[in-house]
Amino acid sequence: MRECDEDMTVETSVALGAEGRPAPPSLSRPPAPPALSPVEGGLGAVRGLRCAGVSAGFRRNPERKDLALVVTQRPAVAAGVFTQNLFCAAPVVVSRRHLEQAALPAGDAASAVAGGAPAFAVSASGAAAAATPPASAGDAPADSSAAPAPGIRAIVLNSGNANAATGEAGMRCALGTARIVAEHLGCEPHQVLVASTGVIGVPLVEAPFVTGIPLALAALGAADGTAAEAGLAAASAIMTTDTHPKQAALTFTAQGTAQGGTAQGTAQGDGSFVLPEGTRSRCGSTKEPSPCAVPSESSRTYTIGGMVKGSGMIQPDMATLLGVLATDAPLTQEAAQRALRRAVDVTFNKVTVDSDTSTNDSVYLLATGAAAGPPVSVDGPLFEPFVLALTALCEDLARQIAADGEGATKLVTVNVTGASDDAQADRAGRAVANSPLVKTAIAGHDANWGRIAMAIGKSGAAFRQQDVGITVMGIPVCEGGLPVPFDEDEALRRFEGRPEVVIDIDLGAGAGSARLWTCDLTHGYVSINGDYRT
């Protein structure tokens, strides 16, 4: 079994195909759920789980939160995707194993697991009390040949230390962390996932977990979807060089069809999602929700929430990204894994800040089943609407990561259309998004499109120079591979007046397309990384 290089290729990708060359080009989107409504609270908005963020002593500053804990009321269906970096961290290895051990049988959903397992109430002191009394110390030991208990009960994340390149001691600490949480919750250690982020190569000890986990248990918010403050605290605790916590949540009402629905929606430059009637919904917004359909008797309403961290060492597959996503939908094991992979492939794996892939990338999806109802399975009518809602949430979070790149002043969206296939479009777009020359030009508010042409030319993507068109912030700057006269003053005004720079590239070679997110490259990036350990 491979420990680090988890294959991030998804079984069924979400197509982003586009045809023609609009001004600016617009990528087609997969069908949208009938309704998307933003809600507050991140993970705190999801029923069936509790979360917290506390200061446990991983950092020198006692005022800074550095330990996040997510606890499900009952064992939850869980899925994960991880870094492909061969220098992967101990928590990555441990959590991959734990996910395999806790996987549910095919067809079972979160609600089915919940029905057969005791719920636990955490006391103010941080101790766990089982709703069904656990076995006493004098009882016979469990049969070691019995199958591991299914479902995940908790995820514990620390910031300030990556626990990477720490050898067997690091493995013992990761395993010990899971054991500590399990002892408090009365579950098995393999039902606990672990994640770490921070400096690589520094030994991580268990002491902060021993003292910090009871504090986190005592600080857990409610499990009824109203714990907005707890969600914010958890998101704050996983930050490293992030300038602000990153979280989002939405509810959606989906009426399944045999084809999973046909409504179309489009992600906009401001982070909103335009639905068929032209209304907008932004997952992380506090604006009034804009549902585009009235729920019917056969429709289902679910909540999805999430938190992520990531600012530097960002490159798709995954970025230096820790993320926890959760839903109250009763997903089956296969549905959870497929939905997560599909969403990650077109969102988090399309983010790059500096082309470096972290040792600790981990994104988890928990399905508590608290919304009840029939299982959401891969071949069921509600699966596609769920994937689309999850993708919308992940896109919101991915854009937050790119916009908060270390030292960044601009979010940059690179749209490539007209490629011979999607892989070629991704190759061209990635070269632009990772080009220091392109990124510094943006930082300097310079519409130097020649650097964009240089980047796609070196990318290895197949196209003819005379077929290429480039638009920057809606201003055509290259057509047929040749310069287009444009107003430099107007370009400067757009640079100065917009938080996002959109670059549209048409290769004129086919119907392939891709969208990537990055940021500009400033002196701030050098300062942050030059002083990272000091």
Residue 312 has pLDDT above 80, yes or no: no
Of the given ranges (2-6, 463-467, 504-508), which has the lowest mean pLDDT? 2-6
Please give the residue that has the higher pLDDT: either 15 or 239.
239
- Beta partners for 483? 478
The count of other CB atoms within 10 Å of the CB of residue 144 is: 5
Residue-wise pLDDT for 281-306, tens only, equals: 344 433 333 333 333 435 789 999 99
Give the model's confidence band at 200: pLDDT under 50 very low, under 70 low, under 90 confident, else very high. confident
- DSSP summary character for residue 87: T
Please give the residue that has the higher pLDDT: either 372 or 531.
372
| pLDDT of amino acid 528 | 66
Sequence-ordered alpha helix ranges (H) in 274-349: 333-345
Give the model's confidence band at 524: pLDDT under 50 very low, under 70 low, under 90 confident, else very high. confident
Residues 119 and 202: beta-carbon distance below 8 Å:
no
Residue-wise pLDDT for 116-144, tens only, equals: 444 444 443 444 443 333 333 333 334 44
* Alpha-carbon gap, residue 248 to 336, rounded angstroms: 19
Q: Which two tokens stand for residue 357?
A: 């892939």
| pLDDT of amino acid 429 | 97
Residue-wise pLDDT for 411-425, tens only, equals: 999 999 999 999 999
CA 485 to the chain's CA centroid:
40
Q: Which two tokens stand for residue 179?
A: 């054991």
Instruction: Evaluate the omega torsion of the peptide bond into residue 291 and state whether it is cis, within 30 degrees of 0.
Output: no
* Alpha-carbon gap, residue 154 to 37, rounded angstroms: 27
| pLDDT of amino acid 468 | 98
| pLDDT of amino acid 60 | 87
| pLDDT of amino acid 307 | 98
* Alpha-carbon gap, residue 258 to 385, rounded angstroms: 11
Residue 35 has pLDDT above 70, yes or no: yes
Of the given ranges (18-22, 71-75, 186-190), which has the lowest mean pLDDT? 18-22
Residue 498 has pLDDT above 90, yes or no: yes
Angle between helix axes 207-218 and 167-185 (nearest 10 degrees) is: 30
* Alpha-carbon gap, residue 433 to 468, rounded angstroms: 17
| pLDDT of amino acid 352 | 86
The whole-number average pLDDT for the span 35-50 is: 95
The amino acid that residue 6 corresponds to is: E
| pLDDT of amino acid 359 | 65
In terms of phi and psi (left: phi > 0; alpha: psi -120 to 50; beta: otherwise), the region of 24 is: beta
The whole-number average pLDDT for the span 489-512 is: 97
Please give the residue that has the higher pLDDT: either 143 or 56.
56
Q: Residue 76 is inside which H or E element, if any? A: strand 67-82
Q: Which two tokens stand for residue 204?
A: 């991580």
Catalytic residues: 320
Residue-wise pLDDT for 341-398, tens only, equals: 999 999 999 998 655 555 667 899 999 999 989 999 999 999 999 999 999 999 999 9
Residues 66 and 57: beta-carbon distance below 8 Å:
yes
Residue 58 has pLDDT above 60, yes or no: yes
* Alpha-carbon gap, residue 30 to 515, rounded angstroms: 14
pTM reported for the whole predicted model: 0.81
Residues 336 and 365: beta-carbon distance below 8 Å:
yes
* Alpha-carbon gap, residue 534 to 528, rounded angstroms: 10
| pLDDT of amino acid 224 | 97
Residues 206 and 177: beta-carbon distance below 8 Å:
yes
Mean pLDDT of the chain: 81
* Alpha-carbon gap, residue 238 to 323, rounded angstroms: 9
Residue 440 has pLDDT above 90, yes or no: yes
